[in-house]
Each structure stands twice: as structure tokens, then as C-alpha cells.
Amino acid sequence: MSENPLRLLMNPRSVAVVGASNDFRKMGTIQALSILKDGYSGEVCFIHRKEKTVLGRPAFPMAAALPHAPDLAVLIVPSSSIANLLEDFGRIGTKRAIVITAGFKETGSAGRSMEEKIRSVARRHGIRFVGPNCLGIINSENLLNTTVAPFTTGPGRLGFASQSGTYVTQVLPYLRKNGIRFSKAISLGNEADIDLVDALEYLGEDEQTRAVILYIEGIRDGRRFVEAARRITPHKPVVAQYVGGSASGARAGASHTGAMAGPDFLYDGIFRQAGILRVPTIEDLYAHGWTLATQPPLRGGRVGIVTNSGGPGTAIAYTCDQAGLEVPRFSEKLQRDIRPMIEAHASAANPVDLTFDLGIQKLAVTLPEMIMKSGEVDAMILHGVMHSGFMVEIFDHLRDYLKGVSCDAFLKGTRSVEEDAFQLPGKYPLPFLISSFFDDTDDCTRGYLDAGVPVFRSPENAARALGSLHRYRLVRERVLSAAPLLPEAQSAALEILQRAKAEGRGALDEYEAKQVLTAYGVPVTREEKAANREDAVEAAQRIRYPVAVKACSWEILHKSGGGLIALHLENAAQVKEAFDGIQKAAGKPTPVLVQEMVSGNREFLVGMTRFPGFAPCVVFGLGGVWTEIHRDMTLRQAPLSDTDAAEMPADLRSSRLLGEYRGLPEVKTGALSLILQAVGTIALLHPEIAEIDINPVMIRGADPVAADALMILEVEG
């Protein structure tokens, strides 16, 4: 595998900035100051056509005038100048660039042409670049910051790749206030060259980075994205926020970075396939990522809770239950050890509720250490460790009684927790999270943040972050299997598809679609195609009553509700009547499909669809009349490994239908997995099939069988 292009870009020995001046109102100047003032020790030079010096340093009129080629060029100039500048730097041997400038494909066709031009120039000179339309990068290891905001928190453990520049730079004060520190952060912009997958692979390899977070508006190469993520997530957590899954989100993303969005369920499916944890908000992205970056791996699901109030303790316990965690009742021995330290009316069972007790050392150290030593929990959440924030709040009420004592003097006379409270989390290999309603102005909150312990502004947020640790534990424990090798294309399927193509058809009829499925091992109903009443009756007799009779034409894609299907036919007279009715409803002579009636109370859907930028996607969901009502479905990219196919049924909200249900046997999910894999195989071997819809897949006893099938074909230009 070739070296990641970000390795040199993030670690240049020298940087040239084009677009900085001595005007502090200009964006280029502000970004140059970040490079100069935040600690980067490499060589920095400026190019300016008119100024002799920029920010106190010599400025050169053009790239050719530089004493040597810089490793990295940062370009913050009008879009019309970018191609020429890349040409200039390419000639002197610069191999990396950051194009901050906007005004490219996100603006329309003229911008797309300009973007293609700069890509062509860069390719000719072997330049790899980030952008355009981005806000640069941060590397806390060498203190290189090319963004507009100061980066002052020092080295961190959280790697970030973002399709929004704001979320890399404008958030820095917010992150500082919450104790969150980047290892590396990359604003990707339009991804004309270096893309999201390059960034993911770079952060996945980076030793400083303990967890990776991604802000995503659209993925251009879904197959490569999933392959990269599946290599990374077994040993390093990856968390993502995706915002392109609604109509307005997709529209905003397209105008923002030119992103190509897809529906939410597509991204839900590929994130699950890749082992990526999805979160709904940007706050969760930072907070859950930071939790995964700083906390030991969760070894089990047992959570210990210590709180100074019943309400927050209950909220934490409830949210832990929702997240799949357990809040176990402590053993009688542990409860006996706890009871002497709490009020008689307080609970020692878990959550441990001190009620209102200003003995903060018990809440912060004594009780949690006792619980962690017991071996009865796998993680701890504390709520209510506070000091200066609370004391400042009550000082106004006490002022009249303190005879001129200042607030500072009052604080000095009160007792906070000992320093060992902030060291306690590091003594035990268990996740340790804090919930507090006081921000970093409280000395306890600040102490935890400085020690790298996540602090959350609500009890539920702390529990949800622990839920992400639990979800990542399940990712680590997955037994991943390799995707199967593709078989040879089956001659029977090839013949059917070639004939349909030669006839210029846009679909296969149901009989043909099921023959294609059969060629790849998918179980289908017993059925025969008939052109007249007599053939239909003879087919029904061979199949045995009861039967169904359906219109069977590639031009009739949907048969229900239009008089084009008859069910539960018991004799020849009914078959003849059904045949005649279908001819009338179709309005012209139409073959029919005579099919065995399949009894079964459980119906599912298996399908395949294609999205731009992704491999064919296999869909599994609740079928029959419930498909559109409940929209309970999941998805994976083909080819499906055994792991992928086995995990899909468990994704459904209605997955309990697959188990023993109201006297019905447990579904043979192995057979269902083989159907899912076969549909993926068909899609890969036969790219001329645009869509596959097998609905319903009936469960006959415990066995799945395809009762109806539709295959839509790609129509050439």
C-alpha cells in the first residue's frame, strides 16, 4: 500500500503561505498568524506580489523566488489564481498543498470546471492537496495550525476528519472549555484530491490518535470507505455524524461542499457494516469521541453509579438500561461496607445516593474506589462532584453574615476534594465518567477535565456516552469474516438477461426473475408460466391446489390491487375464471404465472438497490403490506460476508419475528443469510440489473422462500 498523502502534508518541514498580508482583517493573515503563533517550529515563508515583508518576515514575489521548495503550500487567494499557483509550486518541486479558497464545484458548472483544472495541474506535478473550500488542518503533535482560530490546548488523543471547516476551527473555544483535545484535525472541503477515506486511513494509522470522529455530508467511494473502516474499527473506535439523509440536509450539503448525499438508512447500514458508531449531534460527536479516546475499553456491561441526588441517579440508571447496559444491585457485602458512609435513609444498592451531602471526598473518592475494588462493576458514573461553582452560587445569601469576607476568601476557607480525586480514574482499568451541572469554572469540573476525565452537563449525556463505549465493545467482539469469492456467472441467468436486453426491455417478468434467483441458489415457489386457460389449468394440477394466478409480463411491475392477481384458487373453474379476469384487467393478451400458495404468517423483504458512489446494496426488512407502513429495514454493501448477512436480521426493530413466535418455529436464519448473500452476488455479477425486489420472502414453517420477485434492468442511454 502506498504511503498516505496526509503523512507529509500534516508533517511538513517548511510551509509557504500565499494570501497573507499585513492587513489583519484578511482571512489569509489570520490563518498565517495561527501558523506563526501556535508553536510550529518549521520554516514559514510568505509569497506576496507587492509587500516586501509579511508579519515581520521577508516575502517573496513568486514561488520561483523561494530559496528552496517548501513541503507544503497554503493557498488563500481568489479561485481564479489557484491553478497558476499550483503550476508554479509544481515546477519548483512542492508536493503538498492546502487550498483554502472556495468557489469551486459547490457553486455550479463553472466551478466544477475550475476544480477539474486544478486537479489536472496537481496530478501532472504529483501534488496531493486538501480542499478546495476548506479551513485547513491542525496537528497537535508538531503544533501546526493552518486554521483561523488559535489552537492552545496542546496534544490530544482525538482525531477528526470533517466535511465542514467550522467544526474543525470555530469550535476550538468550545472544545477547550470541555477539556477535549485534538490529536489531528482535517477540514476536507470539496475533496477534489485527498478525501475522507484518505483522512480516515491516516488517522487510523496515527499512533497519537486513540479514537477517530467524522463529520459527513456525503461519501463518494462507499466501497473503499467500508473497506478502510473495517480495517480500523476492530482496534480503534470510529464515531460519525451524518447529516445528508434528509432532503434539506442533502440540499445544504450539496451547496456547502458539493457532497453527494444518500438516504439515512443507507448510511445506517454501511456504518454498521463498517463498525462505525453513529451519533445524532455534533456535541455527541465530540463528547463520545473524547470518551472513547480517553477511557479504558469497557470489559462488561455493569455500571456503578454514585450520586448526591436521587433524580440524576435514576436518570443515569434508566438511560444505561436503554443503552443495553446493566445497573446491578450490589452484593449484600458491598452494601454493608457502604452503609456506614451514607445517611440512614440513603440507598446503598446502586445507584448509591448520598442525598445532599457536602462531604465531597466520599462522593469523589471513597465510595467509587470501594465499588471499583469490589469487582462488581465494569464502569463508574459519578454525579454531583462540585465545590467552587456551588459556593459561588450560595455566597450572595451568606454575604450579610460573613462580615465583609470576600468571595475569594470565602472559597479559600471551604474545602474542595483532594487532588487524589482526579487521579482515581487512572488507578483502575475501568471507564470513569462525571456528570455535573457546573462547567469548567467549578474547580472540581476543571480538575477532572485537566486530568482527561470526560465531564457531561447532564446525567443522561454521561450515560449515553457510556453507551457508546458499550457499542464499541460489541464492535471489538465481532468475529469478522472475509467476503466470499464471487462464483462464475450462471449461464441460465446470462441467457435470460441477454434475451431481455436484446428485446430492449426495462425489466424481467416474475418467472424470469425467479429463474435468475434459482440459478444462484435462492429458494422460490413452485410455479409455471401459462399462455392460455388450458395451460394454466394443467399447471395448477401439476403444482397441486390451492394455487395463485398472476399476470406475468415485464411491463406489469405491480400486480396487487388491479385485478391482476387471484389467490387461494381451489379448482380448475376458479383458475379459468382468474385467467379471464387477468386478461380483462391487463387489456391485452398476457401470460400468467401459476404458483403454489405458500402459507406463513411472517413476511420479509430482500432487495438490491444501487446508489451513486457505492457498491450494490442489499436490503432486508419487514415485508408484505408492512413494508411501506413500518419502513423497518437495514442494508449492507455487496459482497456480503457471513458476518454481514448474519447481522442484518438482528438490525430490525421487528427482529423478534425471526425467533419462536406465537407457536411458530424459529426462522432458519442461516438460510435467510444465504439468500441475502446470493442477491449481493447477483448484483455484482450482473451490473445490468438496476434493482431487485423479493417481496414477500415468506417463512414457510421455518424456511424462507421467495414468493414474488421483481428485477428492473438498466436502460441504455
The pLDDT of residue 251? 41
Determine the Cα–Cα distance for residues 302 and 63; give it in Å rounded to an integer: 61
Residues 497 and 350 in one domain: no
Cell numbers 448474519 label which residue?
A: 646
- Of 566, 597, 628, which closes a domain? 597
350 beta partners: none
CATH value at residue 470: 3.40.50.261
Residue 600: per-residue pLDDT: 83
Q: State the DSSP code for 211.
A: E
**414-418, 419-423, 576-580, 626-630, range with the lowest pLDDT:** 626-630
Q: What is the pLDDT of residue 250?
A: 44
Query: So what's the pLDDT on residue 400?
Result: 82
Beta bridge partners of 96: 72, 128
How many structural domains does the chain have?
4
Q: Residue 164 sits in which domain range? A: 6-292
Do residues 450 and 554 share a domain?
Answer: no
> What DSSP designation does 661 have?
B
- Prior bond to 429 cis, omega within 30? no
Same domain, 611 and 574: no
For residues 402-407, give the mean pLDDT: 86
- 146: which residues sit within 8 A by CB, 6+ positions away? 15, 31, 34, 35, 74, 98, 100, 136, 137, 138
Residue 535, H or E segment: helix 533-543
Q: Is 485 left (phi over 0), alpha (psi -120 to 50) or beta?
A: beta
Picking from 129, 165, 128, the residue whose alpha carbon sits closest to that of residue 256 is: 165
Tell me: do 159 and 34 sit in the same domain.
yes
Residue type, 348: A
Taking only the tens place, the pLDDT of each residue in 361-382 is 999 999 999 999 999 999 999 9
Judgement on whether residues 589 and 629 belong to the same structural domain of the protein: no
- Quick check: helix, strand or coil at residue 428? coil
pTM of the model: 0.92
On average, the pLDDT of the chain sits at 93
188-240: pLDDT as tens digits:
999 999 999 999 999 999 999 999 999 999 999 999 999 999 999 999 999 99
Pair type for strands 710-713 and 703-706: unpaired
Instruction: Select from 249, 267, 292 the last residue of a domain.
Output: 292
Task: Fill in the DSSP letter of residue 339.
Answer: G
Of 683, 678, 668, 408, the closest CA to residue 518 belongs to: 678
Specify the pairing of strand 617-622 against strand 603-609: antiparallel
pLDDT at position 246, please? 55
Taking residue 143's Cβ as centre, other Cβ atoms within 10 Å add up to 18
Residue 82, in any domain of the structure: yes
158 assigned to some structural domain: yes
pLDDT-derived band of residue 253, with 50, 70 and 90 as boundaries? very low
- 544 and 630 in a single domain? The answer is no
Find where cell 386478461 sits. Answer: 583
In this structure, the number of other CB atoms found within 10 A of the CB of residue 348 comes to 21
pLDDT category of residue 1 using cuts at 50, 70 and 90: low
C-alpha cell read off for 603: 413476511
Burial degree of 717 (CB within 10 A; 0-12, 13-18, 19+) = exposed
- For residues 324-345, b (16+ Cβ closer than 10 Å) or e, as one string? ebebeebeeebeebbeebbeee
Name residues whose C-beta falls within 8 Å of residue 528's C-beta, 6 or more positions apart in sequence. Answer: 539, 542, 543, 593, 594
Distance CA 550, CA 591 (A): 9
* Region at 187 (left for phi over 0; alpha for psi -120 to 50; beta for the rest): beta
Report the amino acid identity of residue 449.
L
Whichever domain contains 563, its CATH number is 3.30.1490.20
- Summarised one tens digit per residue, pLDDT across range 285-316 is 999 999 999 999 999 999 999 999 999 999 99
The pLDDT of 503-509, averaged and rounded, is 96
584 class by beta-carbon count within 10 Å (0-12 exposed, 13-18 middle, 19+ buried): exposed
For residue 260, name the pLDDT band (cuts at 50, 70, 90): very low
Which residue stretches of 295-387 are H helix?
Answer: 310-322, 332-338, 360-361, 367-374
Residue 10 host element (H or E): helix 6-10
Q: What is the dihedral of CA 707, 710, 225, 163, to 10 degrees?
A: -120
One domain for residues 29 and 100:
yes
All cell numbers assigned to 155: 496534544
238 φ, ψ (degrees, to nearest 5): -130, 130
Residue 418 lies in a domain: yes
3 state DSSP class of 281: coil
Q: How far apart are CA 448 and CA 300, in angstroms?
A: 24
**Grid cell in block for residue 611:** 446508489
The predicted model gives 326-338 an average pLDDT of 97
Q: What tens digit of pLDDT does each residue of 631-664 get?
A: 889 999 999 999 999 999 999 998 999 999 888 9
All 3 cell numbers of residue 194? 485527498
**What's CA 259's distance to the chain center, in Å?**
16
Q: How far apart are CA 155 and CA 653, in angstroms?
A: 42
CATH number of the CATH domain containing 664: 3.30.470.20
Q: What is the pLDDT of residue 254?
A: 39
Task: Let me know if residue 1 belongs to a domain.
Answer: no
Q: What is the pLDDT of residue 97?
A: 98
Task: Tell me, yes or no, whether 345 and 408 share the same domain.
Answer: yes
Give me the sheet containing 565-569, strands edge to edge.
Answer: 527-530, 592-596, 547-551, 565-569
Q: How far apart, in whole angstroms, are the C-alpha atoms of residue 286 and residue 707?
A: 47
Count how many residues are written for the chain: 717
Q: Do 709 and 527 form a contact (C-beta atoms < 8 A)?
A: no
95 lies in the same domain as 53: yes
Cβ(293)–Cβ(184) under 8 Å? no
Cβ atoms of residues 696 and 623 within 8 Å: yes
Distance, in Å, from the CA atom of 281 to the CA atom of 101, rounded to the nearest integer, reads 27
52 lies in the same domain as 149:
yes
Same domain, 41 and 117: yes
* Assigned C-alpha cell, 209: 490518535
Tell me how many degrees the CA angle 363-366-371 measures, rounded to the nearest 5: 95
Pick from 292, 325, 344: which residue ends a domain? Answer: 292
What local confidence, expressed as pLDDT, does residue 263 receive? 87
Whether 644 and 559 share a structural domain: no
CA–CA dist 301, 189 (Å, integer): 39
In DSSP terms, 44 is beta-bridged to 15
